[in-house]
A and B are shown apart, each in its own frame.
Chain A
Amino acid sequence: MRFISILFSFILILSSCEEVIQVDVVNTTPRISIDGHFNLFTQETPIRLDGGVRLTKSSDYFDLSVPLITDATVTITHLELGITYPLIYQPDTTFYIPETPLILTDFNSDYLLRIFYKGEIFESKTSFIPVAPIQSAIQGTKTFRNKDETEIIISFKDNASRDDYYLFDFGLDLYRSFEDRFFQGKEYGFSYFYNSDEVSVGDTITIKAHGIEKEYFTYFENILELSEDRGGPFQSIPSSSRGNIVNKTNPAQYPLGYFLLSESDEISLIIIE
Chain B
Amino acid sequence: MRRSLSIIFLFFYTTICGQNVTLSGVVLEASSNETLIGVTIAIPELFTGVITNEYGFYSISLPYGTYDVQVSYVGYQTIIRNIVFDENKKIKFQLEVDVAQLNEVILKESIERNSIRKPQMSVNGFTASSIKKIPVILGEADVLKSLLLLPGVTSAGEGASGFNVRGGAADQNLILLDEAIVFNSSHLFGFFSVFNPDVIKDVKLYKGGIPAKYGGRISSVLDIYQKEGNSKKFKLNGGIGLASSRVLLEGPLEKDKGAFLFGGRASYAHLFLPLTGNENKAYFYDLNIKLNYKINDNNSVYLSGYFGKDLFAISTNFIADYGNSVANFRWNHLFTDQLFSNLSIIYSDYYYGLEFDLVGFKWDSGISNFNIKYDFKHYLSSQLKLNYGLNNIYYKFNPGEINPSRKNSGIERGKLINKFANEFSAYIDIEQNLTDRVSLQYGIRWSNFTRLGQDQLNLYEGNNAITFNTGFQLYEEAVPVGFVSYNRSDVLISFNNLEPRLGFSYLLNESSSLKASYTHMAQYLHLLSNTNSPTPLDVWTPSGPFVKPQLQDQYAIGYFKNYENYSIETEIFFKDIQNRIDYINGANLIANDAVEQIILNGEARAYGLEFLLRKNNGNFTGWIAYTWSRSEQRTPGRTQEESGINGGNWYFTPFDKTHDISLNGSYKLDSKWSFNANFLFQTGQPANYPVGQYEQRGLTIPIYGLRNQERLPAYHRLDVAATFIPSKNANRKKQSEWTFGIYNLYNRKNATSINFRKNTDTGNNEALRTSIFGIVPSVTYNFKF
Residues of A within 8 A of B (CB): 1, 3-4, 6-7, 10-23, 25-28, 30-31, 33, 35, 37, 54, 56, 58-64, 66, 142-147, 155, 169, 173, 175, 181-184, 186-191, 215, 218-219, 221-224, 226-244, 246, 251, 254, 256-258
Q: A15-B772, A190-B360 are in contact. Are A10 and B312 (CB under 8 A)?
A: yes
Q: Is B703 an interface residue (CB 8 A)?
A: yes
Q: A15-B774, A238-B704 are in contact. Are A58 and B694 (CB under 8 A)?
A: yes
Q: Chain A residues near B533: list those with CB within 8 A.
A: 233-234
Q: A28-B705, A35-B697 are in contact. Are A10 and B692 (CB under 8 A)?
A: no
How far apart are the CA atoms of A30 and B588 in the complex, in Å? 29
Contact yes or no, B278 A257, CB < 8 A: no
Number of contacting residues on B, CB 8 A? Answer: 95
Contact yes or no, B471 A182, CB < 8 A: no
How far apart are the CA atoms of A236 and B532 in the complex, in Å? 6
Q: A1-B590, A191-B358 are in contact. Are A10 and B282 (CB under 8 A)?
A: yes
How far apart are the CA atoms of A223 and B693 in the complex, in Å? 11
Q: How far is the CB of A68 from chain B (nearest CB, A)?
A: 10
Q: Is B301 an interface residue (CB 8 A)?
A: no
Q: Is B510 an interface residue (CB 8 A)?
A: no
Contact yes or no, B701 A16, CB < 8 A: no
Q: A61-B756, A183-B411 are in contact. Are A37 and B691 (CB under 8 A)?
A: no
Q: Chain B residues near A186: list those with CB within 8 A.
A: 410-412
Inter-chain contact count A-B, CB under 8 Å? 266
Q: A144-B317, A190-B359, A232-B159 are in contact. Are A237 and B769 (CB under 8 A)?
A: no
How far apart are the CA atoms of A60 and B694 in the complex, in Å? 9
How far apart are the CA atoms of A164 and B320 in the complex, in Å? 28
Question: Which residue on chain B has the smallest CB distance to residue A57?
Answer: B694
Q: A189-B410, A234-B532 are in contact. Are A17 and B752 (CB under 8 A)?
A: no
Partner of A227, one of B354, B699, B773, B776: B699
Q: Chain A residues near B275: list those with CB within 8 A.
A: 13
Q: How far is the CB of A170 from chain B (nearest CB, A)?
A: 12
Question: Which residue on chain A has the smallest CB distance to residue B536?
Answer: A7
Q: Chain A residues near B585: list those with CB within 8 A.
A: 222, 239-242
Question: Which residue on chain A has the smallest CB distance to residue B647?
Answer: A240
How far apart are the CA atoms of A219 and B588 in the complex, in Å? 11
Partner of B320, one of A1, A7, A28, A232: A7
Q: Is B708 an interface residue (CB 8 A)?
A: yes
Q: Which of A4, A15, A27, A182 has the most CB of B within 10 A?
A: A182
Partner of A147, one of B278, B312, B408: B278
Contact yes or no, B588 A258, CB < 8 A: no
Contact yes or no, A17 B749, CB < 8 A: yes
6 tightest A-B contacts by CB?
A: A188-B410, A239-B585, A33-B694, A173-B698, A147-B277, A23-B767
Q: A10-B272, A246-B471 are in contact. Are A25 and B530 (CB under 8 A)?
A: no
Question: Which residue on chain B has the smallest CB distance to residue A173?
Answer: B698
Partner of B701, one of A13, A26, A147, A241: A241
Contact yes or no, B695 A7, CB < 8 A: no
Contact yes or no, A58 B693, CB < 8 A: yes
Contact yes or no, A224 B699, CB < 8 A: yes
How far apart are the CA atoms of A236 and B701 in the complex, in Å? 15
Contact yes or no, A237 B690, CB < 8 A: no
B411-423 CB contact bits vs A (8 Å, 1 = yes)?
A: 1101000000000
Q: Is B461 an interface residue (CB 8 A)?
A: no
Q: Is B753 an interface residue (CB 8 A)?
A: yes
Contact yes or no, A236 B530, CB < 8 A: yes
Contact yes or no, B704 A145, CB < 8 A: no
Contact yes or no, A232 B755, CB < 8 A: yes
Q: Chain A residues near B537: list those with CB within 8 A.
A: 3-4, 7
Question: Which residue on chain A has the smallest CB distance to residue B707?
Answer: A237
Q: A21-B767, A33-B694, A227-B758 are in contact. Are A233 and B705 (CB under 8 A)?
A: no
Q: How far is the CB of B270 from chain A (nearest CB, A)?
A: 11
Q: How far is the CB of B406 from chain A (nearest CB, A)?
A: 10
How far apart are the CA atoms of A98 and B752 in the complex, in Å? 48
Q: Is B139 an interface residue (CB 8 A)?
A: no
Q: How far is the CB of B173 from chain A (nearest CB, A)?
A: 18
Q: How far is the CB of A245 from chain B (nearest CB, A)?
A: 8
How far apart are the CA atoms of A146 and B274 in the complex, in Å? 10
Contact yes or no, A147 B276, CB < 8 A: yes
Q: How far is the CB of A172 from chain B (nearest CB, A)?
A: 9
Contact yes or no, B771 A242, CB < 8 A: no
Q: How far is the CB of B363 from chain A (nearest CB, A)?
A: 9
Question: Which residue on chain B has the smallest CB distance to residue A148?
Answer: B277
How far apart are the CA atoms of A15 and B158 in the complex, in Å? 12
Q: Chain A residues near B312: list those with CB within 8 A.
A: 7, 10
How far apart are the CA atoms of A217 and B765 in the complex, in Å? 25
Q: How far is the CB of B645 from chain A (nearest CB, A)?
A: 9
Q: A27-B691, A182-B361 are in contact. Are A223 and B402 (CB under 8 A)?
A: no
How far apart are the CA atoms of A62 and B762 in the complex, in Å? 13
Q: How far is the CB of A253 from chain B (nearest CB, A)?
A: 12
Contact yes or no, A7 B697, CB < 8 A: no
How far apart are the CA atoms of A186 and B361 in the complex, in Å? 14
Partner of A16, one of B530, B707, B767, B772: B772
Residues of B within 8 A of A (CB): 156-160, 188-189, 191, 272, 274-278, 280, 282, 312, 314, 317-318, 320, 354, 356, 358-361, 402, 408-412, 414, 471-474, 476, 530-533, 535-537, 585-586, 588, 590-591, 654, 688-705, 707-709, 749, 752-759, 763-774, 776
Known: A182-B411, A188-B410, A215-B476. 6 other contacts (CB 8 A): A10-B189, A15-B772, A54-B695, A61-B691, A61-B756, A233-B533
How far apart are the CA atoms of A243 and B472 in the complex, in Å? 7
Q: A21-B754, A226-B702, A234-B533 are in contact. Are A66 and B412 (CB under 8 A)?
A: no
Contact yes or no, B318 A227, CB < 8 A: no
How far apart are the CA atoms of A31 and B354 in the complex, in Å? 41
Partner of B689, one of A17, A25, A181, A221: A25
Partner of A59, one of B276, B361, B693, B770: B693
Q: A182-B361, A237-B532 are in contact. Are A145 and B695 (CB under 8 A)?
A: no
Q: How far is the CB of A189 from chain B (nearest CB, A)?
A: 6
How far apart are the CA atoms of A69 and B536 in the complex, in Å? 46
Question: Which residue on chain A has the smallest CB distance to residue B189?
Answer: A11
Contact yes or no, A221 B586, CB < 8 A: yes
Q: A26-B705, A227-B700, A239-B585 are in contact. Are A18 and B767 (CB under 8 A)?
A: no
Q: Which of B275, B408, B586, B709 has the most CB of A within 10 A?
A: B586
Contact yes or no, B695 A56, CB < 8 A: yes
How far apart are the CA atoms of A18 and B358 in the complex, in Å? 28
Partner of B768, one of A21, A26, A56, A63: A21
Contact yes or no, A61 B532, CB < 8 A: no
Q: How far is the CB of B163 from chain A (nearest CB, A)?
A: 14
Q: How far is the CB of A222 from chain B (nearest CB, A)?
A: 5
Q: Chain B residues near A219: list those with CB within 8 A.
A: 586
Partner of A233, one of B476, B532, B700: B532
How far apart are the CA atoms of A16 and B771 in the complex, in Å? 6
How far apart are the CA atoms of A142 and B772 in the complex, in Å? 30
Q: How far is the CB of A150 from chain B (nearest CB, A)?
A: 14
Contact yes or no, A3 B692, CB < 8 A: no
How far apart are the CA atoms of A215 and B586 in the complex, in Å? 10
Contact yes or no, B692 A58, CB < 8 A: yes
Question: Which residue on chain A has the smallest CB distance to residue B359?
Answer: A190
Question: Which residue on chain B has the smallest CB distance to residue A234?
Answer: B531
How far apart are the CA atoms of A12 and B275 in the complex, in Å? 10
Contact yes or no, A3 B354, CB < 8 A: yes
Contact yes or no, A182 B530, CB < 8 A: no
Q: Chain B residues near A35: list those with CB within 8 A.
A: 695-697
Q: A28-B705, A144-B358, A233-B753 are in contact. Are A181 and B772 (CB under 8 A)?
A: no
Q: A21-B767, A223-B701 are in contact. Are A190 and B358 (CB under 8 A)?
A: yes
Contact yes or no, B753 A146, CB < 8 A: no
A-B contact pairs, 18 of them (CB 8 A): A1-B590, A10-B312, A13-B275, A15-B272, A26-B691, A35-B695, A58-B692, A61-B702, A66-B695, A143-B278, A189-B360, A189-B408, A191-B358, A221-B586, A221-B588, A233-B189, A237-B708, A244-B472
Q: How far is the CB of B748 from chain A (nearest CB, A)?
A: 12
